[in-house]
Structures are given as C-alpha cells and as structure tokens.
Chain A
C-alpha cells in the first residue's frame, strides 16, 4: 500500500515520517496567531467575511438532551439562518449525533434544504473509547441514515502513548467505511494532545490516512479551537497540498462564539493556507451559538444599529 507515495502504511514508515517533521515553537506560533488577530476587518470586507463565515458554520447540537424537535428547529435555521432575509446563505452543514441523522436529513429535505449536508459524530464520540467493531458499526449506521459527513475522533490515548500505527489504522478503516458516500473529518481533540508538535503530527497522520478534513475538537474539552492550534493545522494542510496536490479542509470547533472570533479564523486561513481555503468545501467552523452573533452583526451592518438578540431566532 502507498499513501500519497509518502509512507507505505506500516507503523515504521509512519513514525519515520512524523519524526522528521519540523518542530513547532510554541511562543513563535502563538505570537504569529496573536499578530494576525490584530488585523482590522472593516466595512465591505467585514460584510463578506460574515456571510462567508455563515456559509462555513457546521451548525451543531451535541447534547444528551437533544430531541427530534430541537434538531428539526436547527435544520430550519440552517437552511434560512435569517428568516427575514433570503440573501443570507445556508450554513455549511448540520452536525448531530448518529440517532438524529435520519431526522435531520428528512426534515432538511422537506424544507428545501437538500443542499445542506448532515454531519454525524461517530466512532464513540466524544471519547472514542470503544472497540473498533463498534466504531465501524457506528459510522456505517450514520451513513446509512443519510450522513454525508462523518466527524470521527482519534484515539488520543493511543496517540499520546506513541501508538501512531493504531491511530492511523483506525482512520484508514473508517475511511473505508465512508468510501465515496461520506466525507471524513478527523477530530484530534487538541486540548488533550496539548502540544503544537502533537497537533502537527496528528494533522499529517490523519491526512495520510485519508482524512478529507482535520478538525480540532469535540467541543467537550477546553481549550479547543484556539488560533495557534488552527494556525498549525492550516500550515499542515498548506504544506500537504504542496507535497501531494491534494487540498485537505480544516474545521475548528469549540470556543468560537462570536463574529470577532470567526473573523480571526478567516484571517488565519487567508494568511496561512491562502484564499483557496476560504470556502465551505475546505473550511468549516463547528459552532452552536456563533451563528446568531454573525446574524446580529450582519443586521448591524445593514441598518447601522447595534442588534438585539430579540431579532434573531434562538434555535
């Protein structure tokens, strides 16, 4: 087997490849991210940025208390985020637990939201602590229910103890299950990987194993999608594209709650990976509360008044 002609799939070749990756200097990476956070986005740029960000939101509900009603409401919002303004784009996807996939898919299709994909968090999300058999079954279930995107978690325990081959093999297996039917997003839970060196290694490991997207976090662990973590992942997809001509997407998730945070992410994308990544095809933002703030900011830009939450729907 060959993976992009870079490794042969054995743990040895994977470890050799990961070992030769350059290190990440924590202070330097954080300083770069902080500098980019000072970019000031105004007027027309801001409006475009907000609309782009809306189209990139993976509108998410991942609660034990989720119900079909809640999911259906979220689907309505996903298709038409601002019921008063049809020029606002639909979001990038709906992101739900497995058992809600069919409900979401059916409802989206019934309200003219065929273009909004459903993403399912699979593989014993969020901990990933289950047998491979269960993880495979979980994934298959989601796809059968209509999920077009699978957000899987890696085995952080295996990763942190250096069993990279195990982590790699799991991604390869889930990739096989997804086949042509579903996009695969690989969640690292960067808050548990802790170091940027680990984030860089995990990024390459996942990309080589067949990920379509690399994703920061489950949303259940803090810190999540901090700007420097996303910076390191954007550098990885940029350099991977140089090596393979294959463009991998990036999905920060968790902690991006307002327009300012979202725009900072877009600036990171623009100046690190490049404008080619500034599309929902290659950049998504996993969030639940962000969308409303984006909508409020957009309203403010339209009418010049600071908006009130009373004018955006709470779903």
Chain B
C-alpha cells in the first residue's frame, strides 16, 4: 500500500521562526495542470511590521559580525542549499511550470550566487572604500557601511528572490523579502535552509503573498531604510518611490545580476577625518 505523505504547511519566516500569518490568511499555489500544491501564508501588514522589528533588532549585530564571519555564513547557506537541490528543483518545476532540468539549473545558479556573494563580504571596503589624500595634516578614509533594514520585492521567481536578498545581507543589512505568488513555495523551503545555516535570527525574513498588498506598506514604513523594487511592475514603481520619499528611503531597481552594484546600492559611504600629530 502506498504510504500516506505528510504534507508541509507553508508558513512565514520571521526572526528565525516559522509563524503563520497573523491574519490567518492563505492563498493557493497550483501547478501547471491547475492542481493545488499548497496554501502558503498570505502575509499581512502586521506581519510586515513584526518583520521590521526583527530585522531592526538583528541588524547591528549582523553588521558588527566580521566580514569573514558573514562570508562563512553565506557560504554555509550555499552548502545547506546544495543538499536541498532535488526538493527545490521539484518545487520550482511544479509551481512555475518549467522543466525539472531548468529548475535544477536555477537551483544550481542560486547556490553559485551564494558562493559568489560569500566572497564579496570581506572585499567591499577594498573596492568601495578609499583613503583620501586631503590637503592638510589629516588622515581621511572612506568606508562602506550597511544601510540598515532593506525590503525587497523580487520577481515571481526563485532565482530573482535569491538575487535580491543575497547582496543585501552580504554587507550587513538585514532584509525583509516580499515573495510573490508561486515563488513562495521554494522561498519557504529556502527558509528551512536558512534555519540550519548559522544565520542569526532576523537577518533574513520572508513574507509570502502579494506585492500589491505589502509593497506600499513597506515603502511608507519609516523604519525601513531601503527597498529593491526590481520585481515591481514599472508603472507601480513611482507610487512606491513617492511613499518612500517620506524617510528618503533608498529605492532601487536592477536590470542585472551578479554585480556589486546591487550590494553598494544599499551601503552608505562614511568618511572619517582625524588629525595627524604628536
């Protein structure tokens, strides 16, 4: 007799825990044949607020971790992800309708992204920092620092989700990912990867659901410092930027992947002056 499968309840990932949406809502994700795969949680603006609290609390500690340590944790994510390749490929294929082969390639690409970003963490200051020869007896240097709490709204695609969050946390930011629709399935399995990868609680928070519902709240949230809105429809970006102007949120969208631009866009340059004397 065929074994009865234990199905997974897809929840949210906030502060290292897997809560249901505070709203109690879920939505349907079906495969290409229209068969129901799961009911991921439909995150509410209250869930967003909780995520911001978690991300803010985690941020200074994550930024303070050594770049070497952050690099190792990012690499650990790649290691943990490798072991989930088949599961994620199946989920991606089922939920997005692409072939299993393509889904595998997508997961492999995602793993390689983490490896790529893992190597960036301790090179940012060398590439983006500077020692400035000012005309006076001062030592003057510029270093990049993480901005703080960043929300990302990636396209409805697993790799786009990874492309959004990895550069954000590489520099010491914490992130709230607003994962839309069918990408929610793989994203929540990825959350299980995070839970076993030494990543401090709250550094990555994942909310599944609707951009239309959550992105405006994120854009107007005064304790979010920046937003990657690459996955938002072009026509809807202006209103988010207008809302974000209230606290001068750094709001960007990107055309390309695997570029340090995606890291530096969410970093600030700090310049320090000190006299040189005896």
Contact = CB atoms under 8 A, between A and B. Distances in A.
B135 interface: no
A26 B276 CA distance: 8
B79 to A, nearest CB: 50
A181 to B, nearest CB: 40
A227 B275 CA distance: 19
Interface string A109-130: 0000000000000000000000
Interface in A9-30: 25-28, 30
B278 A28 contact: no
A111 B9 CA distance: 112
B274 to A, nearest CB: 9
Given A27-B137, A27-B138, A194 B275 contact: no
A80 to B, nearest CB: 45
A225 B278 CA distance: 18
B277 interface: yes
A236 B90 CA distance: 79
A94 B275 CA distance: 41
B162 to A, nearest CB: 48
Contacts of B277: 25-27, 30
B136 to A, nearest CB: 8
A195 interface: yes
Interface string B156-173: 000000000000000000
Interface in A168-186: none
A195 B278 CA distance: 6
- Interface range on chain A: under 10, 10 to 19, 20 to 34, or 35 or more? under 10
Interface SS of B by simple majority: loop
A25 B273 CA distance: 14
A25 B138 CA distance: 12
Interface in B179-195: none
Nearest to B137: A27
A161 B33 CA distance: 89
Nearest to A27: B275
Contacts of B276: 27
A184 to B, nearest CB: 29
A195 B277 CA distance: 9
Interface string A181-218: 00000000000001101000000000000000000000
A159 to B, nearest CB: 16
Contact of A194 (B136, B137, B278): B278
A197 B278 CA distance: 8
Interface string B236-278: 0000000000000000000000000000000000000001111
A27 B136 CA distance: 9
Contacts of B275: 25-28
A28 B137 CA distance: 10
Contacts of A26: 137, 275, 277-278
Contacts of A195: 278
Contacts of A30: 277
A227 to B, nearest CB: 15
Interface string B79-102: 000000000000000000000000
Contacts of A194: 278
Contacts of A27: 136-138, 275-277
Contacts of B138: 27
17 contacts: A25-B275, A25-B277, A26-B137, A26-B275, A26-B277, A26-B278, A27-B136, A27-B137, A27-B138, A27-B275, A27-B276, A27-B277, A28-B275, A30-B277, A194-B278, A195-B278, A197-B278
Interface of B: 136-138, 275-278
List 4 A-B pairs, minimum CB-CB distance, nearest first: A26-B277, A27-B275, A27-B277, A27-B137
Given A194-B278, A197-B278, 15 more contacts: A25-B275, A25-B277, A26-B137, A26-B275, A26-B277, A26-B278, A27-B136, A27-B137, A27-B138, A27-B275, A27-B276, A27-B277, A28-B275, A30-B277, A195-B278
